[in-house]
Chains A and B, each alone.
Chain A
Amino acid sequence: MASLGLAIGTALLYAVLSLSARTGDVLVAHADARDFVSREQPSVGLCPWREEARDRRQFFPTATDVRDETLILSGKRLEVARQLGRASTTEENALKVYRILRHDDVLGSVVARRVRGESGVIELLLAVGANGDVLGARLQRLREPEEVAQALQSARWLGAFIGKNRASAWRIGADIPDVPPAARSSATAILEAAHAMLVLLSVADSAPVSGAIP
């Protein structure tokens, strides 16, 4: 009789466990929902080109096409560090470049980068000619107080970028017009980022990059 009881008990225990497994579904959904959202995403360094048509018209009016490439620079870290005068950061191991084409000819490149502004992120966009000189700059996004935003977005200040390249001097107040004290910190960050972008582009273009992903 005890054996019979044990057998029936085992069968019922299995039924309980099966039901318990279904009970767990409530938690499955909960856990999965969190998993879907919680994936770490690369954010720093990757910056979208937000208004492609407008910028193409402004900086490359004769362009017919755009081709984007992701250049892997990890093999050239020493060269990058030498030209930057500092160790390169992790996000500087890759560079997303938009090649601006007129039929098969490359007119230049567009690169974008997120910059740590004083009051929030600033998205800097540089249009660079085939010779490495800056053709134009635009701040795609910034979260600065009005006075600072006006100074940084002024044609006078951003216009001073034009014609500069990686070898140019980028000193604020000397090579680039000064800005109000409240904007100094963000302006300095933008200039450093602009110089770094030109260096990365120059190093990437100096020789074929093995990891280029068209």
Chain B
Amino acid sequence: MAFERRGASGVYMYFASRDPATGRVKKTYIGRGPRADAAAAALARRREQREADRRAVQEAQDALRDLDALTAEMDDAASLLMEAVLLAGGFHRHNYGRWRRVRDGHGRHGVAALASGSVR
């Protein structure tokens, strides 16, 4: 919704909305005077509210940014060390499936299978 200059006589308020059926923007004439001023004030209030909401969300995100980074670092370190220990312990994981013991087809598994050099 905005004031638009039409012709030489001045600005008029139009309400723009998209028609869901056709997808086209349709403008409804509001005019000018007290009714148009009230509509413009309501529009400004709504914009301010939207901006305040956006700022509040941004602040909430900023407030958690450091802690999120710390949590992500801890999560990453724990995941990496867990994977390292499991791989070192003779386990493997295929395509994000379950961790399983490495087997070489000769009855050897885990570290023994890896040591035999016949796996993979």
A interacts with B: no
